[in-house]
Amino acid sequence: MSDSILRLGNLRGPDVANKITSRSIFVQPLGAIEQHGPHLPLNTDEVVATAVAEATVARVGEKLDVWLLPTLTYTKSNEHAWAPGTIWLSSTTMLSVLDDWQLPQQEIHAVFPSPRMLPAKVTQFIAWLEGQFDQDWWARRDLG
């Protein structure tokens, strides 16, 4: 059974120019490596984020030109620093990483549950995303 998921990481360098367009959509799973009590593995967030992203891209990827990016597991999880095995970046480092991260020139959408329930690391990521754009998306959108 072949993998029907469009994975950016599976492309070779020359393929990117031929397959990625201004209409391509990227899904970036974000899943921390942190404690979840004695009953779950450290990579629970990574496994869940990757599974949801893979299911989404598998369902609509080819039809809508949606590509899966590799799961980012280095997150701001210092609230779990006390627990063995937690991999985390400080807020300052995480923001520096995000500042250096280059997005392709196209629309980006962040989908998340109610803002009341968001962890601090997700709130910081969304705030960073908002800061990357100099105008509202609908003002930039090609409606033609």
Mean pLDDT of the chain: 81
Residues in the chain: 144
Extract the tokens encoding 1: 């059974």
pLDDT, tens only, 100-114: 766 556 566 666 666
**Please, what's the b/e burial string for 25-64 (b: 16 or more CB within 10 A of its CB; e: otherwise)?**
bbbbbbbbbbbeeeeeebbbbbeebbeebbebbeeebeee
> Is the pLDDT reported for residue 122 higher than 90?
no
Give the integer Cα–Cα distance in Å for 36 and 45.
9
pTM tops 0.75, yes or no: no
Sketch out the chain's domains with CATH numbers: 8-140 (3.40.50.10310)
Rounded CA separation 61/25 (Å): 9
The predicted-structure confidence for 26-53, as pLDDT tens digits, reads as follows 898 988 999 999 999 999 999 999 999 9
